[in-house]
Amino acid sequence: MTMQPVRAALLGFGYAGRTFHAPLLEAVEGIAFSLVGSSRPDDVHALYPNVRVSSAQDAVVDPEIDLVVIATPNDSHFPLAAAALRAGKHVVVDKPFTLNLQEAKDLQQIANEHNRILSVFHNRRWESEIKGAREVLQSGVLGQVTHYELHMDRFRPNVRQRWREDPGPGAGLWFDLGPHMIDASVYLFGMPQAIQGSLATLRHGGKTDDWGHAVLHYPHMRIVLNASLLVAGTGPRSTLHGTAGTWMKYGADPQEPQLQSGMSPNDPAFGIDPDGGVIINGATGEITPATPQRGCQQKYYESIRDAIRTGAAPAINAQDAVNVMTVLDAFYLSAREGRTVPLPHGSNQQE
């Protein structure tokens, strides 16, 4: 028996909607990418001529839609997601899930009350470097891991006029990249026991943070997360240190530039990253290549499709979203007050 496709609406057709969500939704079998909530119908129809366009407010209550994907400015995530859930839709929200932890908990409660799937788009779990880190951890080749470091640094010295760089709720570099790095940390190691955070605005004329640094505390390890818009060099993006050796990976996963170029996620070359990083033997110093991992962000939406069709839990659920917002809220508190902030229910995974 052929199952009916999941009819999806995408709210927002800016960078995230156009680059990530639209092509991934279009590529996944069993999802019918049907509607875009946008004020720019010409831009939508230039790429997707057969997709309907409406306002975001109309899209969340459209009777022909099962799944609403929210890729609008950060301060609109909560009201649009709440409206869609109350209208009986399943919901995916781009990161950051909400502006604060309380909004995240409120959305989780609304989803539970209406028995709807609620997820956050932490697509980078399906990138080659996060898959590579997970593979190395599971192999045990590094012994007991004591340090994980993840950098999402860029070189963008010129301040641009856009909502992400203008003062306001949900603006700034850390709201953009912090959730990705926090999710990777929690995915790989569980919830931390405490966090130290620091923010700065370092570019001339900057109006929001453009540098952020976090240290996550675990019983027998530390995680260092860093994001900057003033890094032109090429240090390792991902590093794991352990009692038996080190894994380092340089260079980013290829999926974002591939999607920017118009490559379909169904292209045989999509997601292929020939660089798996290197493993350094602590006792001998021998350097060996690690096994490359292929990125596959489309699997996020395959998981959402299967969850809607079968009732199974999606790969990333509402509690995952709440966990990241718990750490993100604590990070901002730490950065404001200049102190280490403890977190409830910290992981004992490394004990």
Each residue's pLDDT tens digit, 280-299: 999 999 999 999 999 999 99
pLDDT at 351 over 60: no
pLDDT at residue 326 is higher than 50: yes
pLDDT in tens, 143-153: 999 999 999 99
* pLDDT on residue 186: 98
Q: With respect to residue 140, please indicate whether it lies within any of the assigned structural domains.
A: yes
Same domain, 150 and 194: yes
**Predicted pLDDT at 350:** 38
Q: For the domain that residue 132 is a member of, what is the CATH number?
A: 3.30.360.10
Paired residues of 92 in beta bridges: 69, 119
Quote the CA–CA distance of 297 and 13 in Å, as a whole number: 19
Give me the pLDDT at residue 168, please. Answer: 85
Residue 349 has pLDDT above 50, yes or no: no
> Residue 218 pLDDT > 70, yes or no?
yes
Predicted local confidence at residue 163, as pLDDT:
73
Q: Which of 66, 98, 121 is the last residue of a domain?
A: 121
Q: Phi and psi (nearest 5°) for 64?
A: -95, 15
Statement to judge: residues 244 and 133 lie in one domain: yes
Centroid of chain to Cα 177: 8
* Average pLDDT estimate for 155-166: 86
List the structure tokens of 21: 């969500």
Q: What is the pLDDT of residues 97-142, one digit of tens each?
A: 999 999 999 999 999 999 999 999 999 999 999 999 999 999 999 9
Distances (CA, A) of 170 to 79, 130, 153: 14, 25, 19
Average pLDDT, the chain: 95
State the Cα–Cα distance between residues 228 and 38, nearest whole angstrom.
31
Instruction: Indicate the residue among 121, 145, 179 that finishes a domain.
Output: 121
- On whether residue 314 sits in a domain, the answer given is no
What is the per-residue pLDDT for 347? 52
Q: What does pTM read for this prediction?
A: 0.95
Task: Quote the CA–CA distance of 331 and 228 in Å, as a whole number.
Answer: 16
| The pair of three-digit structure tokens given for residue 75, joined into one six-digit string | 């301060």
Categorize the per-residue pLDDT at 199 as very low, low, confident or very high, splitting at 50, 70 and 90. very high
Number of domains in the chain: 2
In the sheet with 6-11, reading across from the earlier edge strand, the strands are 52-54, 31-37, 6-11, 67-70, 90-94, 118-121
From 51, 86, 121, give the residue that closes a domain.
121
**Dihedral, 14, 77, 313, 65 alpha carbons, nearest 10:** -70
Q: If you compute the radius of gyration of the chain from its CA atoms, what whole number of angstroms results?
A: 20
Q: How confident is the model at residue 164 (pLDDT cuts 50, 70, 90)?
A: confident
Say what the pLDDT of residue 166 is: 83
Structural domain of 108: 6-121
Structure tokens at 332: 């901002």
Q: Is 179 found in the same domain as 33? A: no
C-alpha distances (whole Å) from 131 to each of 20, 120, 319 are 19, 18, 21
Angle at 182 between CA 78 and CA 203, to 5 degrees: 85
Give the DSSP H/E element, type plus range, for residue 118: strand 118-121
The one-letter amino acid code at 258 reads Q
